[in-house]
Chains A and B, each alone.
Chain A
């Protein structure tokens, strides 16, 4: 069916709205049960699709097809507890469901009308089982605006998106509004680019609209390359039409007829959902020729990346869209002036686009109500690393990192101490505990040496070595450096060499100064964002965790026990029960001992494979820095390889 006016959209909405309403918590007496199975990548990889098939089979067997519907839905963000299955009415939230649990779910919940206690979410502090999603703190503490459809609608059904007012804004824009009016609303809302740099979105649209060269292009940057970031992927998987709608609105505003979505090939589920969404939009006449019966044409094509981090940079991305090596080029000319095929091009990030329909629908005044003085709206963050509730969250700009990590994220597992949080991926910095209470926005993060970036957050505990982490990031950026400009190509290589040296215990104090100077040079002289921000992890760890660097250089120890050259394993003699399992497990023959005597590890033979640690039933084998081990051996007389000063200090 072709949709030609707002009336058609409204009719479709009417048809599907009862189902959606029930999922939003209304008891509207439908006499229907809906089971929503999370089909985001994370849950798919833990067999949520097998659960889906199993559910369908079971329902068939019990003849429940009439009254129960099973549906795919997008990511709810509670990935740590996946695969997630929700049952409506009641918003019952089942987590860690396995395909073999389906029988019980159908029998107990659907046939007997009782909750399956053991699969409900268990609150950490109280140990209480919580049936409804509305009572789970992780969700209560969030403000889901961009993610409002994720987990509510079936992303593979355009009609469900329409039932959530989808495409209404597009129709209203094309039929009733002038481009200038729309751009004005976007500008007034204060929306800034969610890809990282925070450029005012309205201004970007204005600049591209002002060019009088045709044709023009609209591009969506879905090359989400930051490790530990999966905001864009979840939006594309859970609500792909919101991005398509926004791109069509953008095209109408700037005068483009062709759009491209550049998406990572590493995201097969997102690619599939986009393909389905584009197909359905074409069928209903919301993409293609003559949108909504007007003369406005707009179509979208998918372009797949091929594994190059630098392609997230807009000029590199343009090259890659044109099928070439994804190397960046100097700006200006900006893509707004010369982009795809040398024509004016508007590039926005996935999350930026996902904000557009809702801003236009609810007005810029409403949107301004969220956020800080300089940064409006909400931000989606992905939480990963040493945190209890790994997953996806959305909070208003200006929320503190402490709220995100300890309140929503649930803190650090295993009673470990918080050490740092890394924001902005390889281009960001590590933020220590003293800044946790800062309200976050683009500016506040920049002040403390990090960046907002696309929204990936990695939490580090006391078990992580910050020098090793800086080395890890440099290894990444060095590997991903495209080689086009010297400061980045050679500079990151040198940085990496120095960091490697330090983590191996061959660093000199002088190295710290070289690291700093070289970092500043790379930052100032590199061609694109990748090089300019690559030293951030080094600079931020150098300034906030300098003592760890000094411990590696002067004392030749790794306080966190990560750097292999700088610690040794030893047996905690009080815990050792002399079972001998460790000695059997040791391939290097480094462990010796006799019955009833604590075992000992010979540091000279030990290759630090940790095989013994895995075998020990009493957790008696512990990591210690070399220095500590030697202090123990010699009853307090330090004989480490440290420098003169540390010897004097002892």
Chain B
């Protein structure tokens, strides 16, 4: 296991064989980063969850290929890797939009009208929870309590926190991101 860093990336070559144009430099770098993570974490036992957190940071989500790759590098059966990925709600097997809009549906936010905020977003973005808009801009999610109950109801757009929002104002926030996107383009 110790010298795997020097080996050729079996899985990448595997993917390359199947679809040679699909593997990009970017992807290759990502796998290299993942290798470093695994090398660091594997020194101590029981670090699968830690590796998956980092892998999700690198790839944005945890597709089958990445799970298989981690399994082969750590020696943990792929069934177990997949079992852990699907057990915890923070791990995602689907790619996410550029902005992840998370509505806190903890109790404090719920009693202050978070459900209305969620409904407004669903209606206007025309997607359901856990779905991504067609332009790949927004993924809509509900989240467990983030502990900012003093600001309830709370909405997160990636890392930005918006507190004490009313259902009627929520689309203003979304539009700011849409506008920003246009300017960037």
A→B interface (CB under 8 Å): 41-42, 45-46, 79-80, 82, 224-230, 233, 265-267, 301, 303-309, 320-327, 341, 382, 384-386, 390-391, 422, 425-426, 456, 458, 460, 464, 469, 472-473, 482, 609-611, 614
Contact = CB atoms under 8 A, between A and B. Distances in A.
Given A307-B144, A324-B46, 10 more contacts: A42-B151, A227-B110, A265-B53, A303-B46, A304-B49, A306-B88, A307-B88, A323-B45, A384-B108, A472-B107
Contacts of B45: 322-323, 341
Contacts of A230: 145, 147-149
A228 B50 contact: no
B47 interface: yes
Nearest to B161: A45
B149 A79 contact: yes
Contacts of B119: 609
Contact of A301 (B44, B148, B149, B150): B44
A306 B90 contact: yes
17 contacts: A42-B149, A46-B151, A79-B149, A227-B106, A228-B145, A266-B147, A303-B50, A304-B53, A307-B91, A323-B49, A323-B50, A384-B107, A384-B108, A385-B111, A391-B150, A458-B108, A614-B167
Which of A45, A301, A303, A309 is packed against the most chain B CB atoms within 10 Å?
A45
B6 interface: no
A384 B90 contact: no
Contact of A458 (B52, B53, B111, B161): B111
Contact of B150 (A324, A325, A390, A482): A390
Interface residues of B, number: 43
Nearest to A464: B111
Given A233-B147, A321-B46, A307 B89 contact: yes
A128 to B, nearest CB: 23
B81 to A, nearest CB: 10
Contacts of A610: 116, 167
Interface string B130-167: 00000000000001111111111010000001010011
B163 A227 contact: no
A326 B88 contact: yes
Nearest to B83: A325
A81 B83 CA distance: 43
A609 B146 CA distance: 27
A366 B180 CA distance: 59
Which of A227, A341, A473 is packed against the most chain B CB atoms within 10 Å?
A227
Nearest to B115: A472
Contacts of B9: none
A324 B108 CA distance: 31
A390 B149 contact: yes
B112 interface: yes
B46 A323 contact: yes
A608 to B, nearest CB: 10
A308 B88 CA distance: 6
A225 B123 CA distance: 29
Nearest to A80: B150
B84 interface: yes
A46 B163 contact: yes
Interface in B117-135: 119, 123
Which 9 interchain pairs have the tightest Cβ spacing? A79-B150, A227-B106, A306-B88, A384-B108, A45-B161, A384-B149, A323-B48, A227-B145, A307-B90
Contact of B90 (A265, A327, A425, A614): A265
A267 B147 contact: yes
A426 B154 CA distance: 19
B99 to A, nearest CB: 17
A226 B147 CA distance: 9
B33 to A, nearest CB: 18
B168 interface: yes
Which of A265, A309, A323, A482 is packed against the most chain B CB atoms within 10 Å?
A323
A13 B8 CA distance: 55
A229 B145 contact: yes
Given A341-B45, A384-B152, A323 B108 contact: no
A303 B88 CA distance: 14
B107 A458 contact: yes
B150 A385 contact: no
A596 to B, nearest CB: 27
Contacts of A325: 83-84, 87
Nearest to B74: A323
